[in-house]
Structure 1
Amino acid sequence: MKKHNFYAGPSILPEITLEKTAEAIHDFAGTGISIMSISHRSKEFVAVMEEAQQLFKDLLNIPEGYSVLFLGGGASTQFAMVPYNLLGKKAAYLNTGAWSTKAIKEAGLFGEVEVVASSKDKNFSYIPKGYVIPKDADYFHITTNNTIYGTEIKSDINSPVPLVADMSSDILSRPVDVSKYAIIYGGAQKNLAPAGVAFVIIRDDILGKLDRAIPTMLNYKTHIDKGSMFNTPPVFAIFALLQTLHWLKDLGGVEAMHRINEKKA
């Protein structure tokens, strides 16, 4: 009997992802070398990275002017990378749970943080409404899905300032108008791949506006310029992620997955 995992994450991955990844552990792409031993500079793995980035763009209909990154460090590292790259004077945050609370704490190290609304008063059991996003904020940050509390922002928000979203656990589960966002990020272990890789979708023109020295590894431009290959990426997790993307495409894409999720809900 197949067992099911109802943890907040990591998730149960598609059977085909497990099968293809297991095969690659012994022989990756006919090289005779394990995916766990292959050089990330090899043409075989470069092809994996490029295909995963393109398929991510295709499935989400990501417009021109955006880059897709696959990085180590998980979503928690993004809590610091976002303000390091974007926060000049003030950022606005919506506090809907444990993860947004952590993101707010990190952003406070770089400048003023205005929490426009919070559902902490009722143990994060609801998504606040009727808040005002300050127009002088450098960006507005939301966490779309709160796995601990079972709440979700189910539609895209119209923001007067650049919109940043942590979509760790609901990316590719429903259609998203990426053009409304400056940055979308998340840990892939929630529904796409084994732990170890984070995805970042970033609008290229949002960068380079701060007069601040940013450490090389925390600078988005470093990773955009090098195609997520500035240093050794999480090779194994990215290969598994590609298999899940193929599975989702064969299933019918994001629209099909959204219909399945709505039926289950």
Structure 2
Amino acid sequence: MTVTPTDRRPPLGDLLRTWRERRRLSQLELANRAEVSARHLSFIETGRSRPSREMIAQLAERLEVPLRERNRLLLAAGYAPAYGETDLDAPELAAARDAVRRVLAGHEPYPAVVVDRRWQLLDANPSLRLFTRLAAPDLLVPPVNVLRVSLHPEGLAPHILNLGEWRSHLLGRLTRQVELSGDVELAGLLRELRGYPCAQPEPVADLPGPGEFVVPLRIRSAGRTLSFFSTVATFGTPLDVTLAELVIESFYPADRDTVAALRAQAAEPAGD
């Protein structure tokens, strides 16, 4: 008998149980949240009952399953995927693409990047060159992973004055993402990044220093110390996998010297 990819697909019950355990919920807790009986949920997980498409969607919503994985649940139950995955350059996403680029342009002269679920660079504004010109050229060959560029010993890491603090912050974000998504490629990236050298202490928890209100990124560039904090934006009600996984991270100057440096960079001729 020839084994097809469909034959190797995990049963729906196993996938649901994995997500439930990842969210640290008992069957009774999930059943209450989804307004179904614990007995019915047990039957679904053991394969004794085939849930409707609507029931799968309801359970996935209560488990906060990413759209990509919701499609996987539907396929495992024999249903067609509900959420499309449209190329970002496709005409259908023109309005969303325009919105993203407006955000990038409006953030000038401060750096901003657009990344996908695996932290690969999709777009950026010209001010990002403040960071990229500090990294080795081979790290900037597409596909560019912004976490790798940030923490690699030939990337930004040697220029980050508070590397231990910033590294702990980034690895903490990635760890939480791996725990929430179960993404094996992200888990591999986490192992890689943890293997990069760091001579500074890495705090277990983010604790503010004097006058700090966010975890800062402090970089030494061209003999100047620049300080930033960042914000993260996502689409509020995505129904497409691509948009659901899109993240815009915007960096803001944390002091007047950094504001002046960024304005000076913006006045430089293109290509400098």
TM-score (norm 2): 0.29
Higher strand share: 1
Tell me the TM-score normalised to structure 1 length. Answer: 0.29
Structure number with the bigger relative contact order (C-alpha 8 A, sep ≥ 6) is 1
- Structure number with greater Rg is 2
Compare the two structures and name the one with the higher helix fraction: 2
